[in-house]
Amino acid sequence: MKLDPTVMKDWEIAEAAEADMKSIEELSSDFGLKPEEVIPMGRKLAKIDYKMVMKRLEDAPQGKYIDVTAITPTPLGEGKTTTVMGLVQGLGKIGKSVVGTIRQPSGGPTFNIKGSAAGGGLAQCVPLSEFSMGLTGDIDAITNAHNLAMVSLTARMQHENNYDDARLEKIGLKRLDIDPERIVIKWAIDFCAQSLRNITIGKGGKMDGFEMESGAQITVSSEIMAILAVSRDLKDLRERMAKMVVAYNKQGGEVTAADLEVDGAMTAWLVKAINPTLLQTIEGQPVLVHAGPFANIAIGQSSIIADELGSRLADYLVTESGFGADIGFEKFWNLKCRFSGMKPSAVVIVATIRALKMHGGGPVVKPGKPLDAAYSEENLDLLEIGCSNLIAHINTVKKSGVRPVVCINSFYTDTDAEVALVRKVSEDHGAFCALSKHWLEGGEGAVELAEAVVAACEEENDFHFLYELDMPVRQRIELIAKEVYGASGVSYTDTVLAKIEEIESDPSARELGMCMVKTHLSLSHEPSWKGRPTGWTLPIIDVMVYKGAGFIVPMAGAVKLMPGTGSNPAFRRIDVDVDTGKIQGLF
C-alpha cells in the first residue's frame, strides 16, 4: 500500500506501516541485541535490559551523538520529533547504523491539544497506539511512586497531629514537624485536569487525614521523571530518590523521601521503568523510548540510560531536546551532557519557513481560523526579519563549541527563493544547512539532511559548558540570561535573593546544575515577544531546588504544573474500531 501523507492522516499511515513492521526478534537482532537482553512486552514492544547490555558493551566505543533542537516554537509547528524520525530514516538510507532516542508522550497532551509525539507523515515511530497510550507503563510507575510519597507525607502529618512524642517513639517514628504551608509536591495524574490544581484534602474527622490545601500536578512534571531522565543506573536512581525534597518543617529544614522512609518503596516502583522501551521507525530503524516531556521545569529529554545504551549499539544516535535551543538545547548542553559525560558530535536546529515568518511579525495564528496568506505566499521581507530568531539559536549552539546544522523542514508552500534565503542566512552565520522533505518522502527525503549531519560529525568540535558548578548562582543565572536568551540584565525580588543566599550556604548546592524556567514561546520571558527581542530584563520571581534530580530551578515566570484541557481536545476524535480493536484518530 502506497503511503501518502497528503491524503492520509498520521494514524492511518502508522496503521498501514505496522503491517510491515519488523518483529521484535528481528528488530532486536538487527540492533545487535542478544535474546536474553530483550524483555518482550507483548507482540510489538520490548524493554531492553540496559544493565546486561552495558556490562557486555562497557568498553565498546560510543557512536556519533546528534541532538535535534529548534527555533522558538510557534503555533505553526517546527517538527522536531518528525525530524528526528526523518533523520534516523535518512541515515539509514545512506547505509549508516543508526538509532533514535525520544521521550514517551504524556497522556495530557496526547488527549488534549498537542497530540502524541511520534513524528508525522512518512517520518514516524510505530506502533503509534501503544506508543501514545501508556507504552510499557513507565509513566504509570512514576505516578505511583510520586503518589506514594504523598501518601507517606499526608499519613505522617495525620499521625503527628494525633499522637504525642511518646506514642510516636513507641511506633518508631521521630516527629518531623512538617509545615503544611510548605509542601513541595502535589498529587500526580497524567492528564490535563485543571479542576484538580487547587483542592482541599483531609476533610472529615481525625481518622480522615490532615486537612490542608493541596492539588494535583501532571505526572511528567514530577521530579521523579527528571530523576529517571538523569540517572545513570538503578543505584544512582535510588540515591537520588532519597534526596528528593517533598516538604519543609516548621524550622525551615528539608523533609526528604528518606526522612519519610519511603524512598526505597518509591524506587521499587521504577525497577522495570528504568529499562528503555524498543520501538522502530516506519522504515525499520530502532528507536529507544525513555523518560518524558515537560521540558520547562525539568530537562524534558530522553534518558541518559537510553542515550548511553544506543550509542554503544549504533554508529549514530539521534536524540531530541524539547522546545527551542534556548531551553531544550541549553539543558541538553549544560545539564544532560554534564551528568552523562557524553559530548555531541552535531546539533540540528529545525526551522520552517512559515514559523520564521511569524517571528518576522507575521499575523497571529488562531486555532480554527484560516491561515493568513502571508504564510502560504512568498514574502522574503517577513522571512528575513524572522531569521533573527534562527540566528540567535545558531549563536547559542556555537557557544557550546559545536557548529550547528540548520534543517529547513520543508512545506509545500515554500518557494525556492525563500529556501535560498534561509540557506544563505544559516551559512553566513557559520552553520551547515540542508533542506529536508522527510514528512512527504520519509528517509529518501532526508538524505540531504543526513549527509549534512555526517559532514558535521566529521568536524572536530570544542564542546564545553557555559558555566562550571562552582560559579555562584546569580552569576550562572545572568550568564544564561545574557548569553542564551539575549537579556540585558536580570532582576530579583528580595525573597528570591534570600533563597539564593540560603542555597549558596549549603555545600551540596555546588553539585547542582542550573535548570532555568521560562516561557518556551519567546527567547524572552514574555510569550508575545517573537523574533529576537532586545533591551529587556529577565525577572526571576522564585527559585526552587530539586535535590534528587540535581537542579537549582530559577523561575522567570509562573509555571502551571497542571496544564488545562482546551475546548476542542484530541479525545473528541479518538475512537476504537470495535471489530478489530484498533485505535483511530491519534495524531
List, by residue number, the catalytic residues. Answer: 80, 82, 103, 114, 295, 323, 411, 439
Report strand pairing: 551-555 vs 575-576: unpaired
Strand, helix or coil for residue 89: helix
Residue 184: closest CA among 227, 245, 241? 245
All 3 cell numbers of residue 256?
Answer: 526528604
Strand, helix or coil for residue 512: coil
Query: 503, 455 in Cβ contact below 8 A?
Result: no
Q: What is the 3-state secondary structure (H, E, C) of 415-463?
A: CHHHHHHHHHHHHHCCCEEEEECHHHHHHHHHHHHHHHHHHHHHCCCCC
The length of the chain is: 587
Query: 301, 338 in Cβ contact below 8 A?
Result: no
309 CB-near residues (< 8 Å, 6+ apart)? 48, 50, 53, 54, 276, 288
Query: 85, 198 in Cβ contact below 8 A?
Result: no
Query: 524, 488 in Cβ contact below 8 A?
Result: no
Which run of H or E residues covers position 39?
A: strand 38-40
Report strand pairing: 199-201 vs 277-281: unpaired
Helices and strands (DSSP H and E) totals, the chain: 21, 26
All 3 cell numbers of residue 248?
Answer: 519543609
**C-alpha distances out from residue 35 to 32, 179, 274, Å:** 10, 51, 19
Query: 543, 554 in Cβ contact below 8 A?
Result: yes
Query: 308, 60 in Cβ contact below 8 A?
Result: no
Instruction: Answer left, alpha or beta for residue 4, where phi above 0 means left and psi between -120 and 50 means alpha.
Output: beta
Q: Identify residue 156 by its one-letter amino acid code.
A: R
Peptide bond into 127 cis (omega under 30): yes
Q: Identify residue 56 by its one-letter amino acid code.
A: R
Phi, psi of 410 (to 5 degrees): -65, 140
Strand, helix or coil for residue 562: coil
Q: DSSP alpha helices (H): ranges in 270-379? A: 304-313, 330-331, 337-340, 353-359
All 3 cell numbers of residue 219?
Answer: 505526572
